[in-house]
Amino acid sequence: MRRALAIFLITVITIVVFLVHQVYTLLTLLVEDGSTDAIHSAEIPAPNSPLIDKMPQYIPKIIHQTYINDSVPELWREAQKSCVDLHEDYEYKMWTDAKSRELVATEYPWFLNTFDNYSHPIQRADAIRYFVLAHFGGIYIDLDDGCNRRLDPLLSYSAWVRRTAPTGISNDAMGATPQHPFFLTVIEALRAYDKDWGLPYITVMYSTGPLFLSVIWKKYMSSGRNIGDGASGGRVRILMKDEYNRFPWSFFSHHQGSSWHGKDARFIFWMGSHWMMLTLMGFLLAGVVGVGAWWAWNRALLLGQQRKNKRREGGMWERAMGWSWRRGGKGGYELAERHEV
């Protein structure tokens, strides 16, 4: 029994270690708040403050946005206009589907096959934003994000992304210098993460979307490259919620968006809002499965032992019958001998 228990425990521990290793980065994201690299409110001058002019500029003055074509829906025109009007001295680049593919085909031909074969158009919209930041530098802004103030203070960091809930970072507003090592790492990782996970929302999120970006960010920090400020620095700073869109002095204002979300997305959002309950249920289910596996293991051992005992008892019976026959034969022989005497 002790040997069986040891084998069972070793098997369970091996499986658990394997599973934890596979999802380790996702687990560490649950406790990663980005505070180490946060852009604090005290660092950011108020809108129109003369201190802004004294801040260094590392990120070029370029605003990138993406859409199918140049005809942006009315729903997002106000948000788009707010960014353009506030930044007349910035270069504005609208990356249509045709322009996006042309850039990939010309500058990154090794990625064209993956780009063309994405099953969801939003994956191409996600991917191109990483490529344009890696190639040109600048600031990428989703069409459903309006500009609440000028973005000049954010040009003073070699790269930045924003914190999102419940964990990780988002890809709806980002900035970087050209050839920043983080975004080079991101575009290099895209092919390896190009997998279909069954549900469209999960597939998009983990192949090109915020979950993908969060995992690469976490691995990037663990690699030791998330260091160094300035034009050639590798550090990625984090724009927190307050600075993102919570107050009048925040940089962005959010408008209606996420047009690609479906029923599976609503289910995932429900899971996200009930993650504590689902975590407890997961542990409970794991306990039930563990107890059930232990019972099945013991049951199999017991049945095996019973079969072995039956075979042993059968062998003993056969030997006993054989011994009785031989003994009877011998006795008869002895009696015959006595009769002759």
Q: Tell me the pairing of strands 91-95 and 145-147.
A: unpaired
Q: Which two tokens stand for residue 251?
A: 């940089």
Residues 176/129, Cβ–Cβ less than 8 Å: no
For residue 213, pLDDT over 70 is answered with yes
Q: Which two tokens stand for residue 209?
A: 């979307």
Residue 8's pLDDT is what? 62
Residue 277's pLDDT is what? 65
Residue 261's pLDDT is what? 45
Residue 334's pLDDT is what? 44
Average pLDDT, the chain: 84
Q: Which residues 6+ apart lie within 8 Å of 153 measured at CB?
A: 43, 44, 45, 52, 55
Spatial distance between the Cα atoms of 281 and 196, rounded to a whole number of angstroms: 26
Spatial distance between the Cα atoms of 79 and 179, rounded to a whole number of angstroms: 28
Task: Tell me the residue ranges of DSSP E strands in the chain.
Answer: 38-39, 62-66, 91-95, 138-141, 145-147, 159-163, 169-176, 237-239, 252-254
More confident residue, 197 or 80: 80
Q: How confident is the model at residue 101 (pLDDT cuts 50, 70, 90)?
A: very high
Q: How confident is the model at residue 23 (pLDDT cuts 50, 70, 90)?
A: low
Residue 17's pLDDT is what? 53
Q: How confident is the model at residue 308 (pLDDT cuts 50, 70, 90)?
A: confident
User: What percent of the chain is predicted at pLDDT more than 70?
Assistant: 75
Name the pTM for this structure. 0.74
Nearest to 82 by CA among 158, 142, 132: 142
Which of the listed ranges 9-18, 151-160, 265-274 does the model predict with the highest average pLDDT? 151-160
For residue 332, pLDDT over 80 is answered with no
Q: How confident is the model at residue 265 (pLDDT cuts 50, 70, 90)?
A: very low
DSSP assignments along 191-244, one per residue: TTT----SSHHHHHHHHTSHHHHHHHHHHHHHTT-----STT----EEE-HIII
CA 256 vs CA 13, 142, 216: distances in Å = 47, 11, 27
User: N- to C-terminal Cα distance for the chain?
Assistant: 61
Spatial distance between the Cα atoms of 272 and 164, rounded to a whole number of angstroms: 12
For residue 222, pLDDT over 90 is answered with yes
Residue 266's pLDDT is what? 45
Residues 143/76, Cβ–Cβ less than 8 Å: yes
CA 319 vs CA 102, 235, 290: distances in Å = 87, 81, 43
Residue written as token pair 């191409």: 124
Spatial distance between the Cα atoms of 138 and 175, rounded to a whole number of angstroms: 6
